[in-house]
Chains A and B, each alone.
Chain A
């Protein structure tokens, strides 16, 4: 029994001769998890495997203890918003959401009530009775999200859920993800927008060429990358003096004084030693206004682990 985790155990999937994912072993805890990787890396394959749209050639997957081969149970606790239009031809947004609920065994009135709530949640209630085919890209995205959340699932799987959303709806959608995660649920999403991943993710899974490159919290993943020195931006009054004090440390590899001479970009091989050195400098009476990690971001991780091409 795997409990409330999404677990991939040595999972491989091939599309004929083409590799989908290879020997993926993952444990995804509850919270917001972002799957990040270049096009064709295997993100959608992982998501489709989770919900049983495709099956692994090797290995096993469990979603909070349930198998993707059991959609009857799994899809009661899972909502999946695909990148593609799922609505059967001629369906209105409302019917699209309500139909999924009817199939789940809800009564007509309950399905309509839940569909209305879900559509209100994504600000689509006014357009609910228009045909999905007439929706804009952003509206389609929202109605898919409404369908995914309508049955209040424990696991939300979302393929590029923020694509095409305007800033206001985007912020509301992120708030929705946070709310779900706060309830101890899984929100697993893929995104190309690394700044967003930074903001919303509790943990990330980096994937390239069908293989998992790294997984965990962004900070933890960053700490595991030893070949790239960590970067910090220090804001202080006496930048030159602090720079010279830091240069005495073995672990410091590079320091750049910023143009306004009130800041430094410091590169260190040891975060712990850097922290200690900075404490000593502060205690010696030098004013350090702020210290910010400059490469504890998804962008940096992506560049270090996968390369520049997103």
Chain B
């Protein structure tokens, strides 16, 4: 038997399995996981676009907005900028005070100055003006769509949700089913009775799972990235594409794909060894979660360790988050991109080798007769 024929067998098995992987009812939810961030960003983009469109008809030229300074009076502002999009006045502040009978009472604080809030729109940004006693105290300009901020949010969603949960559970659904699903359907013996080595069968099934998961999650990441860019200012987006855009897109898609490669191997092996997918899911999720606080040697036995370091933008972390959350979410000291890819390939190869030993020992019973 030649290597060429074995490779052909691997491809035949993968081709036959692809239909099952893509259209399995058992793993339909994988698509929902992959598309969830895209839906979120689409909602965000659509809402921003609608807001911009709604406010555009009453936009004030940026040059006029520029002339408004803290210390201006309400009348001066209204004279220059015209009627605001939003205008609200709070004449008296209601405060809670201790009453005569020792009970708390809500009363108007007559000492408080009159407050007024106005909102303008300059075509891109929202300008919030806060007045006290008729004088502008604070002027704050906020972009309706902040490209920088959205990219940071994307990095957070990608690393905290997509890699840690969507790709993780998606691979669980796809790869655990490759063997375990066929055992449940009592069809695995069809493959075992083929004139093919068990290792070839394993490779074929892994390839099918990998093609499917890479397409689903790689394209899912690219789609989400595209949707994140869609409502942004075209000049900014163009500049982004000219500098880092292509590289960012590549590394996001690559990290998703490499995540599938790593988690795929782990869950394929788990499907051969264990009946219940919950057990490996919990154990591996825990292992991956505590990766950042593990000793350096053990960190290298994690998929997340490698794929996180490939992400082009570091995930944001709220400094007010509890210490435990910050520790669990903080990535380990990142390796270089080349080392990360090689490390991940090495981890996947090691796990697949262990899986190939397990598949050689696997026995099938139709029932004892």
Among listed A95-103, A173-181, A243-251, A273-281, interface-contacting one: A95-103
Report whether B364 and A105 are in contact in the complex, using a CB–CB cutoff of 8 Å: no
Knowing A71-B196, A103-B13, A105-B9, the reply to whether A86 touches B190 (Cβ < 8 A) is yes
Chain B residues within 8 Å of A80, by CB = 193
Report whether B368 and A45 are in contact in the complex, using a CB–CB cutoff of 8 Å: yes
Report A36-86 residues with CB < 8 Å from chain B CB. 39-45, 48, 51-55, 71-76, 80, 82-86
Partner of B193, one of A15, A51, A89: A51
B28-66 near A? 1/0 per residue, CB < 8 Å: 000000000000000000000000000000000000000
Report whether A15 and B365 are in contact in the complex, using a CB–CB cutoff of 8 Å: yes
Report whether B189 and A82 are in contact in the complex, using a CB–CB cutoff of 8 Å: yes
Report A3-39 residues with CB < 8 Å from chain B CB. 15, 18, 20, 39
A52 (CB) vs chain B CBs: closest residue: B192
Report whether A102 and B12 are in contact in the complex, using a CB–CB cutoff of 8 Å: yes
Report whether A55 and B369 are in contact in the complex, using a CB–CB cutoff of 8 Å: no
| 25 A/B residue pairs, CB under 8 Å, sorted by A | A40-B368, A45-B368, A48-B365, A53-B193, A55-B363, A71-B193, A71-B195, A72-B200, A73-B195, A74-B195, A76-B195, A85-B187, A86-B189, A87-B190, A88-B20, A89-B185, A89-B187, A90-B19, A99-B16, A100-B193, A102-B16, A103-B9, A103-B13, A105-B5, A159-B369
A contact set with B: CB distance below 8 Å: 15, 18, 20, 39-45, 48, 51-55, 71-76, 80, 82-90, 99-100, 102-105, 151, 159, 190
B193 (CB) vs chain A CBs: closest residue: A80
Report whether B366 and A48 are in contact in the complex, using a CB–CB cutoff of 8 Å: yes
Name which of A40, A82, A190 has the most chain B CB atoms within 10 A of its CB: A82
Report whether A103 and B369 are in contact in the complex, using a CB–CB cutoff of 8 Å: no
Chain B residues within 8 Å of A55, by CB = 361, 363
Q: How far is the CB of B189 from chain A (nearest CB, A)?
A: 6
What's the Cα separation between A187 and B182 when bound, in Å?
Answer: 28
Chain B residues within 8 Å of A71, by CB = 192-198
Report whether B190 and A105 are in contact in the complex, using a CB–CB cutoff of 8 Å: no
What's the Cα separation between A85 and B189 when bound, in Å?
Answer: 10
Chain B residues within 8 Å of A52, by CB = 192
Report whether A53 and B192 are in contact in the complex, using a CB–CB cutoff of 8 Å: yes
Q: How far is the CB of B277 from chain A (nearest CB, A)?
A: 19
B8 interface residue (CB < 8 Å to A): yes
A84 (CB) vs chain B CBs: closest residue: B366
Knowing A71-B196, A84-B186, A99-B16, the reply to whether A44 touches B8 (Cβ < 8 A) is no
Report B252-266 residues with CB < 8 Å from chain A CB. none
Report whether B363 and A42 are in contact in the complex, using a CB–CB cutoff of 8 Å: no
B contact set with A: CB distance below 8 Å: 1, 5, 8-9, 12-13, 16, 19-20, 182, 185-187, 189-198, 200, 361, 363-369
Chain B residues within 8 Å of A45, by CB = 368-369
Chain A residues within 8 Å of B363, by CB = 53-55
A44 (CB) vs chain B CBs: closest residue: B369
What's the Cα separation between A39 and B186 when bound, in Å?
Answer: 21
What's the Cα separation between A90 and B365 when bound, in Å?
Answer: 22
Q: How far is the CB of A57 from chain B (nearest CB, A)?
A: 11
Q: How far is the CB of A306 from chain B (nearest CB, A)?
A: 15
Chain A residues within 8 Å of B187, by CB = 85-89
Report whether B193 and A75 are in contact in the complex, using a CB–CB cutoff of 8 Å: yes
Report whether B195 and A104 are in contact in the complex, using a CB–CB cutoff of 8 Å: yes
Chain A residues within 8 Å of B5, by CB = 105
A72 (CB) vs chain B CBs: closest residue: B197
A86 (CB) vs chain B CBs: closest residue: B190
Chain B residues within 8 Å of A90, by CB = 19
Q: How far is the CB of A91 from chain B (nearest CB, A)?
A: 9
Chain A residues within 8 Å of B191, by CB = 103
Q: How far is the CB of A83 from chain B (nearest CB, A)?
A: 6
Report whether B12 and A83 are in contact in the complex, using a CB–CB cutoff of 8 Å: no
What's the Cα separation between A41 and B367 when bound, in Å?
Answer: 12
What's the Cα separation between A265 and B140 when bound, in Å?
Answer: 116
What's the Cα separation between A87 and B187 when bound, in Å?
Answer: 6
Name which of B5, B8, B193, B361 has the most chain A CB atoms within 10 A of its CB: B193
Report whether A42 and B8 are in contact in the complex, using a CB–CB cutoff of 8 Å: no
Chain A residues within 8 Å of B364, by CB = 48, 53-54
Report whether B8 and A105 are in contact in the complex, using a CB–CB cutoff of 8 Å: yes
Knowing A20-B368, A72-B1, the reply to whether A103 touches B196 (Cβ < 8 A) is yes
Q: A103-B12, A103-B196 are in contact. List 20 more A-B contacts (CB 8 A).
A: A40-B368, A40-B369, A41-B369, A48-B365, A51-B193, A53-B366, A71-B198, A72-B195, A73-B195, A80-B193, A84-B186, A84-B366, A85-B186, A87-B190, A88-B185, A90-B19, A100-B194, A102-B16, A151-B195, A190-B369
